[in-house]
Amino acid sequence: MSKDGRIWNGTYPDYRLHYPSVLISSGFLPNALQPEAAVGDDRSVVYTWTDNSGMGKAGPDDITLLFVYCEAINQCNYRIGDATRNNGTVTYDLRPYKGQIIQTWLAFISADGKDISPGVFTGELTIL
């Protein structure tokens, strides 16, 4: 949350979301350790994390939930199941966002689809 406890920043009429406070998913499945996102050479986003299978309900076959939002064009996209927790990395092709600033999040869904982790904000990126 922002320092005053709200999910938005600014003063009227120029409010902006405080993206690290946006909750894309909520549940009791542990998220991965050290999740990060970076721009790849081919205008993709490369998500990485440390596999923490066995921590609580975290399993090696939990699947990824990748989420991106571009404020400039007011568009969000997500992908489910491109990788599993034990992969430690996944690439999301974002060539259509060339020249845009995007916000990124990562979460996991259990292999049986019954549990989900809280989404973790993985940063703001510019797709060059």
Please report the pLDDT score of residue 30 as a whole number. 98
Mean pLDDT of the region 52-59: 97
Average pLDDT, the chain: 93
Predicted local confidence at residue 19, as pLDDT: 94
26-126 in CATH: which number? Answer: 2.60.40.10
pLDDT reading at 10 higher than 90: no
> Apex CA 24: angle with CA 62 and CA 97, to 5°?
95
The predicted model scores a pTM of 0.91
Q: Where are the domains of the chain?
A: 26-126
Residues composing the chain: 128
In degrees to the nearest 10, what's the CA dihedral of 57, 117, 63, 7?
-170
Q: Say how far apart CA 9 and CA 89 lie, in whole Å.
A: 32
